[in-house]
Amino acid sequence: MNMRLLNAFLLLIIIFSTAITGCQERVANNTAATTTDSSTVRLITADPGHFHAALVQKSMSEGIDSVVYVYAPDGPELQSHLDLIKQYNERAESPTHWSEKVYTGNDFLEKMIAEKKGNVIVLAGNNLRKTQYITRSVNAGINVLADKPMAITPANFTELEKDFVTAAQNKVLLYDIMTERSEITNLLQKEFAQMPEVFGTLVDGSDQSPAVTIESVHYFYKFVSGKALARPAWFFDPAQQGEAIADVGTHLIDLVQWQCFPEAVIDYKKDIAVNSARLWPTPVTLSQFTAVTKKDSFPDYLHPYVVKDTVLQTHANGQVNYTLKGKHIKLTARWEYKAPEGSGDTHYCLMKGTLASLEIKQGKEENYKPTLYLLPLKESKAYDTALTKAIEKINAQYKDVSIEKSGKAWKLIIPESFKVGHEAHFAQVMQRYLQYLKAGQMPAWETPGMIAKYFTATKALEIAGSTK
């Protein structure tokens, strides 16, 4: 056999061998090469069933390899993830250059653990399986960046608490994606809450008149990166997505801890008491369900929640009253079908101090944009002077923030440059996580704060009588 025929024969063998493996490679952009620097972050994405997995990659970050290894079952959820990455790679302004290497065998989780091609795994998908993925990853010595929630049941919480111990033993970082810490009105509310000259100190409050009242409203029908989002049908199943308190409620619990007790170590066994909790459904018609999921019927696992054959009573709302270090908190997480025209997900937070209250509102009066107000208990020239000096302190970090009178309240005027939007917050979370990875550790308060957060959420479900 001459050399040309031999080379052709060998090439056919290589092609055939690649075709019969369980690995299906789909490359979003193949211009990048894997680096071998041990300090480089190499991402793994496992079973991406939620669009947050793609938002982590909406922009490039220095120190992250552009080759990403994806392990997932084949199907529409994976394709939606890859389509978003492709969209980011092909956009006209600041395109990314990710190269997605995809494995779609049924043994994708075992394959991921065995190959260990990356050192940070991103988890954002079906929450029923997420705690299991976390356990397998930290046991294998892989750093974890997980979308909320990391636990949706009391049993999940028990497992997650062990996972943090394992992560510490294996010297890997287990961290969840808390984007709301990057939202500018939340940041400024936190800053003012730590200024005794204008806020005083946080009151103790009561169940009837809490120190902190915090509420979010999310919507099933929404747009992500300019396109209508198609949610998987399991998103409406509390056993797979989680109840509202355990899902989006974790953002609110995190904000309360982070704003009221910044950098404080929280011990859930002595610092938290869940006093009451309740759950209630949001009705979703079959036509609405179809618009969101592109499915023309309810799957069998949702039938227990269907009434009159066409209305899904989805478990989408929850409220909990609890105390954190003696301060009474009232927390509400709600879902509705579709936001009013020109609006989107909304956030409300009222923090009561001994000198003033801090209130974030996002209603029609605010053009559905989060707006921070400061409401002094007593008006005086001395207080106005203290507030002026406080704004000067704020401007040292947040340039050109100002205030204007709005009735008896002061309204914060925030430059548009700080209002980057929810999707951009994922890159900010990634930057925070990269700093922790570089340091080889997280601040002492982060891990106990996460444990306390998931204890609060899952304990509330237990009290509310959730059977999921």
Asked if residue 370 lies in contact with residue 359, where contact means CB atoms within 8 angstroms, the answer is: no
Assess whether pLDDT exceeds 90 at residue 115. Answer: yes
- CB neighbours of residue 25 within 10 Å: 14
Same domain, 425 and 383: yes
Residues 202-206 have a mean pLDDT of 98
The model's pTM = 0.90
Same domain, 410 and 384: yes
Q: Is 8 exposed, middle or buried (0-12, 13-18, 19+ CB in 10 A)?
A: exposed
Q: According to the 3-state scheme, what is the secondary structure of the chain?
A: CCHHHHHHHHHHHHHHHHHCCCCCCCCCCCCCCCCCCCCCECEEEECCCCCHHHHCCCCCCCCECCEEEEECCCCHHHHHHHHHHHHHHHCCCCCCCCEEEEECCCCHHHHHHHHCCCCEEEECCCHHHHHHHHHHHHHCCCEEEEECCCCCCHHHHHHHHHHHHHHHHCCCCEEEECHHHHCHHHHHHHHHHCCCCCCCCECCECCCCECEEEEEEEEEECEECCEECCCCHHHHCCCCCCCCCCCCHHHHHHHHHHHHCCCCCCCHHHHEEEEEEEEEEEEEEHHHHHHHHCCCCCCHHHHHHEECCCEEEEEEEEEEEEEECCEEEEEEEEEEEECCCCCCCEEEEEEEECCEEEEEECCHHHCCCCEEEEEECCCCHHHHHHHHHHHHHHHCCCCCCEEEEECCEEEEECCHHHCCCHHHHHHHHHHHHHHHHHHCCCCCCHHHHHHHHHHHHHHHHHHHCCCC
Same domain, 208 and 355: yes
How many residues are recorded in the chain? Answer: 468
Assess whether pLDDT exceeds 60 at residue 316. Answer: yes
Same domain, 253 and 166: no
Asked if the structure places residue 143 within a domain, the reply is yes
Same domain, 167 and 228: no
Assess whether pLDDT exceeds 70 at residue 211. Answer: yes
What percent of the chain clears pLDDT 70, i.e. is strictly above it?
Answer: 91
User: Average pLDDT, whole number, for the chain?
Assistant: 91
Same domain, 441 and 455: yes
* CA 325 – CA 270 distance, rounded (Å): 8
Q: What is the pLDDT of residue 91?
A: 96
Would you place residue 223 in the very low, low, confident or very high pLDDT band (cuts 50, 70, 90)? confident
Asked if the structure places residue 12 within a domain, the reply is no
Assess whether pLDDT exceeds 80 at residue 252. Answer: yes
Assess whether pLDDT exceeds 60 at residue 123. Answer: yes
Q: At what angle do helices 381-395 and 184-193 cross, to 10 degrees?
A: 130
pLDDT digits (tens, 9 = 90+) for 5-21: 444 444 444 444 433 33
Asked if the structure places residue 13 within a domain, the reply is no
Q: What is the pLDDT of residue 37?
A: 54
pLDDT digits (tens, 9 = 90+) for 266-280: 999 999 999 999 999
Domain around 153:
21-177
pLDDT digits (tens, 9 = 90+) for 338-388: 998 888 899 999 999 999 999 999 998 999 999 999 999 998 999 999 999
Residue type for position 374:
L
Same domain, 210 and 108: no
Assess whether pLDDT exceeds 50 at residue 46. Answer: yes
Nearest to 157 by CA among 58, 249, 246, 273: 246
Same domain, 192 and 129: no
* CA 108 – CA 114 distance, rounded (Å): 10
* CA 256 – CA 390 distance, rounded (Å): 22
Asked if residue 46 lies in contact with residue 112, where contact means CB atoms within 8 angstroms, the answer is: yes
The last residue of one of the domains, among 130, 152, 177, is 177
Nearest to 123 by CA among 66, 49, 181, 182: 49
* CA 303 – CA 333 distance, rounded (Å): 24
Asked if the structure places residue 2 within a domain, the reply is no
Same domain, 403 and 445: yes
Q: What is the CATH number of the domain that holds 212?
A: 3.30.360.10
Asked if residue 340 lies in contact with residue 346, where contact means CB atoms within 8 angstroms, the answer is: no
The last residue of one of the domains, among 119, 152, 177, is 177
Q: What is the pLDDT of residue 21?
A: 39
Q: What is the pLDDT of residue 340?
A: 87
- CB neighbours of residue 119 within 10 Å: 18
Q: Which two tokens stand for residue 424?
A: 């951009």
Q: Which two tokens stand for residue 180?
A: 């709301």
Same domain, 32 and 88: yes
Asked if the structure places residue 310 within a domain, the reply is yes
* CA 47 – CA 104 distance, rounded (Å): 10
Asked if the structure places residue 11 within a domain, the reply is no
What percent of the chain clears pLDDT 90, i.e. is strictly above it?
Answer: 85
The last residue of one of the domains, among 177, 193, 209, is 177
Residues 57-73 have a mean pLDDT of 96
Asked if the structure places residue 334 within a domain, the reply is yes
Q: What is the pLDDT of residue 315?
A: 84
Nearest to 193 by CA among 360, 367, 333: 360
* CA 214 – CA 75 distance, rounded (Å): 38
Q: What is the CATH number of the domain that holds 101?
A: 3.40.50.720
Q: Is 101 exposed, middle or buried (0-12, 13-18, 19+ CB in 10 A)?
A: buried
Residue type for position 43:
L
Same domain, 234 and 295: yes
Q: What is the pLDDT of residue 72?
A: 97
Total structural domains within the chain: 2
Q: What is the pLDDT of residue 4?
A: 52
Same domain, 319 and 405: yes
Asked if the structure places residue 315 within a domain, the reply is yes
* CA 22 – CA 313 distance, rounded (Å): 40
Asked if residue 450 lies in contact with residue 412, where contact means CB atoms within 8 angstroms, the answer is: no
